[in-house]
Amino acid sequence: MKIAIPAKGQDITSPFEQRFGRTRWFIVVDADSRDWKAYSNDTNMQAVQGAGIQTAQRLADLAVDTVISANVGPKAFRTLKAAGIRIFMGTADTVEQALTLFQEGRFPEASDANVESHWV
C-alpha cells in the first residue's frame, strides 16, 4: 500500500496540511516498510484552476493507491476515483500522527467530496 499524505513540510514529522490540491508537499509512505519520500506540489499549488485534478493526476502517476486528506473537492474526488485511489478522511497534527491514526483504522473512507469546488 502506497499512501500519500498532504504536508506543510518535506519530512514525515512535518505538520499535516488541511488542503489537498493546494498542499505544498506530499509525503508518500510505503505502508509495509514505512519508507517515505517527500514530493513537492509547488506547480499545482500555484495553478490558476484545476489544482485538485492535477494533484490527483500526479498521485496516480506516482502509483499511489491511498490518500489521507482532511478535505477533498468534487473534481479531485472524481479524478482520484478514476485512478482507483482510495480516500480516507481525517486530520492530525503531523504526517506521522496521521499515518498512525489511519493504520489504527480511525479514518473513515470517503464516499463523496466533502467540500465545494472553489474555482476562481
Compute the least distance from the CB of residue 24 to another protein, in Å: 18
Compute the least distance from the CB of residue 12 to another protein, in Å: 27
Q: What is the DSSP string of the chain?
A: -EEEEEESSSSTTSBBPS-STT-SEEEEEETTT--EEEEE-HHHHT-SS-HHHHHHHHHHHTT--EEEES---HHHHHHHHHTT-EEEE---SBHHHHHHHHHTT-SPBPSS--S-----
| Cβ proximity to another protein, 27 vs 53, nearer residue | 53
| Cβ proximity to another protein, 41 vs 94, nearer residue | 41
| Cβ proximity to another protein, 19 vs 75, nearer residue | 75
Compute the least distance from the CB of residue 70 to another protein, in Å: 22
Residue 62 grid coordinates? 506516482
Interface ranges with another protein (CB under 8 A)? 47-51, 53-54, 56-57, 60, 75, 78-79, 82-84, 117, 119-120
